[in-house]
Amino acid sequence: MNKYGVIYYTRTNNSKRVAEKIADQLSCELIQITDNINWKGIIGYLKAGFYSMTNKSVDIQFLGHLEAAEEYIIVGPLWAGGLASAMKTLLGQFPRDKVHLVVTSIGSHVEDRSGYLSVHDITSNTNNEDAVIEDLVKGLLTT
């Protein structure tokens, strides 16, 4: 079984960029998920906020075959203070004690942090992306 696998969800590619860096540095599999919903533009933005705030559920698909791994690094955005809807669906499919959660946002931190192997906040307003990734990867490569 693989040691690590990286899975990401993205609307505007920030989480994609982060997930690619992590998978590259860990030399492990990288898989994207999608919810096949059009979140583009201002209407899409408002809809996304509404879905997140009301916990409206979405179906997801894996774009590729996910190989089994001992631990998963799951990367995705914060929407209106909570995780993006597709992230909630995705995280429902994995036990938290197998997941390192990486959340990208402008500046907020995800509130529900309990039970994960680790939780990392990448905030564009503090420009901490590469430092957080380096810390995470360093920790994973020494375990």
What are the residues binding ligand FMN (CB under 6 A)?
Answer: 10-15, 45, 48-49, 77-81, 104-108
Residue 1 or 42 having the CB closest to ligand FMN: 42
Residue 35 or 71 having the CB closest to ligand FMN: 35
Written as six digits, the tokens of 47 are 């809809």
Residue 4 or 51 having the CB closest to ligand FMN: 51
Cβ atoms < 10 Å from Cβ of 72: 26
How far is CA 90 from each of CA 7, 57, 135, rounded to the nearest angstrom? 9, 11, 24
- Shortest CB 4 distance to ligand FMN, Å: 20
Residue 106 or 141 having the CB closest to ligand FMN: 106
- Shortest CB 114 distance to ligand FMN, Å: 20
- Shortest CB 58 distance to ligand FMN, Å: 13
- Shortest CB 11 distance to ligand FMN, Å: 3
Between CA 6 and CA 123 the distance in angstroms is: 19
Helix ranges, 27-84 (H): 41-53
Helix ranges, 27-128 (H): 41-53, 85-91
